[in-house]
DNA sequence: ATGACTCATTACATGAGA
């Protein structure tokens, strides 16, 4: 079984590239973030022609998440219980979608960016992560006898958990993504019992998943590692390999993020 | 070359991304 996550920065501008990725890699379940379209605008046809079912959650041109699966797609949840809302007229944004695929509970997550430390979006980001941690800790059903739970929390976490996850910490002085509260909010998932399997399999520095479009960041390999996969213990133990598909950042029409692929033993 | 932002919008300038 192959599970991948990818912030595509608009599915409508990238659908051909995504379909080619599915065919090339044989990915069975793909979690997408930043689809940037409403549900009725999502280009489902190409996925369905390729044998995938698709569940989408998109409310506007902002955010948007989806799951494509060729191993079943059931019990779709749009948003997670307790997910914070944002804005003057508070809206639960399209940042989380869950579905059961091939015996796994998969969540495609697009954590709020935070924007700036003095911006309300930053407090929203921390609250969002805290509420997701609370909810997902319950899914593990620790102490109630569910050691075989197959749960994957994958996506764009918008946190660089280690200094080595950015090319130059000096550039991020006073910026979001690297602060102690954000890193604590990210680490709380490990404390709840999840295993971040991408670093487990790829411990190297400069294994980035995102490069800004500006200032030749990709050719200079000045990137950030912010896309991760937290797995329940049973799912982590099935993970045999992880690939950060950095070739997908090359060429015209690339997303600024690349796919992260998990290989899971059957 | 892996190359000098990109995407969506009752668009033609602005907001968001990180």
pLDDT tens, residue by residue, A207-222:
999 999 999 999 999 9
> What percent of chain A has a predicted confidence (pLDDT) above 70?
98
Q: Is the pLDDT of residue A225 over 80?
A: yes
Q: Which of A258, A243, A239 is nearest to A1 (CA)?
A: A239
Mean pLDDT estimate for chain A: 96
| Contact residues for A225 (Cβ-Cβ < 8 A; gap 6+) | A160, A161, A162, A165, A166, A207, A208, A209, A210
Q: Higher-confidence residue: A224 or A266?
A: A224
Strand partners, A6: A32
A82 is written with which tokens?
Answer: 């307790």
Q: Is the pLDDT of residue A35 over 90?
A: yes
Query: Measured between alpha carbons, how far is A257 from A180 in angstroms, rounded to an integer?
Result: 24
Question: Stated in angstroms, how far is A17 CA from B12 C1'?
Answer: 29
pLDDT tens, residue by residue, A185-207:
999 999 999 999 999 999 999 99
Q: Chain centroid to CA A122: how far? A: 18
Instruction: With 0.95 as the threshold, say if the pTM is over it.
Output: yes
Q: Containing domain of residue A86, as a range?
A: 2-264
Half-sphere exposure of A171 (CA within 13 A, CB side): 11
Query: Measured between alpha carbons, how far is A205 from A165 in angstroms, rounded to an integer?
Result: 7
CATH number at residue A144: 3.60.10.10
Query: Measured between alpha carbons, how far is A9 from A16 in angstroms, rounded to an integer?
Result: 13
Model confidence band, residue A80 (pLDDT cutoffs 50, 70, 90)? very high
Q: Report the domain count for chain A.
A: 1
Q: Tell the burial category of A191 from Cβ atoms under 10 Å away from its Cβ (0-12, 13-18, 19+).
A: exposed
Q: What is the DSSP letter of A249?
A: G
Backbone CA torsion sign across A148, A140, A101, A195: negative
Q: Which bases of strand B sit closer than 7 A to a protein CB?
A: 2-10, 16-18
Element (H, E) at A3: strand A2-7
Residue A142 has a pLDDT of 61
Q: Is the pLDDT of residue A144 over 90?
A: no
Closest nt to residue A211, judged CA to C1': B18
Contact A224, A177 (CB under 8 A): yes
- For chain A, give the number of residues: 266
Model confidence band, residue A146 (pLDDT cutoffs 50, 70, 90)? confident
Model confidence band, residue A147 (pLDDT cutoffs 50, 70, 90)? confident
pLDDT tens, residue by residue, A158-169:
999 999 999 999
A193 is written with which tokens?
Answer: 């019992």
Question: Residues near chain B (nucleic strand), Cβ < 7 A?
Answer: A 7, 9-10, 12-14, 34, 36-37, 41, 61-62, 112-113, 115, 121, 156, 158, 176-177, 210, 212-216, 218-219, 221, 224, 226, 250-254, 256-257
Model confidence band, residue A88 (pLDDT cutoffs 50, 70, 90)? confident
pLDDT tens, residue by residue, A113-135:
999 999 999 999 999 999 999 99
Contact A126, A185 (CB under 8 A): yes
Q: Is the pLDDT of residue A155 over 80?
A: yes
Closest nt to residue A221, judged CA to C1': B2
Closest nt to residue A166, judged CA to C1': B18
Residue A27 has a pLDDT of 98
Closest nt to residue A115, judged CA to C1': B18
Residue A172 has a pLDDT of 96
Backbone CA torsion sign across A13, A15, A20, A26: positive
């Amino acid at each position: 079984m192959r599970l991948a996550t990818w912030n595509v920065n608009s599915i409508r501008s990238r659908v051909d590239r995504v379909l080619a990725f599915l065919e090339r890699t044989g990915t069975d379940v793909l979690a997408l973030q930043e689809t940037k379209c409403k549900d009725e605008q999502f280009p489902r046809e190409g996925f369905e022609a390729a044998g995938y079912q698709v569940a989408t959650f998109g409310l506007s041109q902002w955010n948007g998440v989806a799951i494509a699966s060729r191993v079943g797609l059931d019990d779709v949840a749009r948003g997670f219980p307790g997910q914070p809302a944002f804005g003057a007229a508070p809206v639960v944004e399209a940042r989380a979608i869950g579905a059961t695929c091939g015996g796994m509970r998969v969540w495609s997550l697009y954590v709020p960016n935070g924007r700036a430390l003095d911006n309300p979006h930053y407090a929203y980001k921390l609250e969002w992560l805290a509420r997701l941690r609370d909810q997902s800790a319950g899914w593990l059903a620790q102490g109630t006898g569910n050691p075989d739970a197959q749960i994957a929390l994958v996506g764009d976490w918008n946190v660089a958990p280690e200094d080595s996850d950015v090319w130059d910490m000096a550039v991020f002085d006073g910026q979001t993504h690297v602060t102690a509260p954000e890193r604590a909010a990210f680490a709380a998932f490990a404390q709840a019992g999840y295993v971040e399997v991408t670093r487990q399999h790829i411990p190297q520095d400069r294994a980035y998943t995102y490069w800004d479009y500006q200032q030749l960041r990709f050719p200079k390999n000045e990137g950030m590692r912010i896309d991760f996969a937290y797995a329940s213990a049973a799912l982590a133990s099935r993970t045999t390999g992880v690939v950060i598909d950095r070739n997908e950042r090359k060429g015209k029409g690339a997303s600024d993020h690349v796919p992260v692929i998990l290989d899971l033993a059957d």
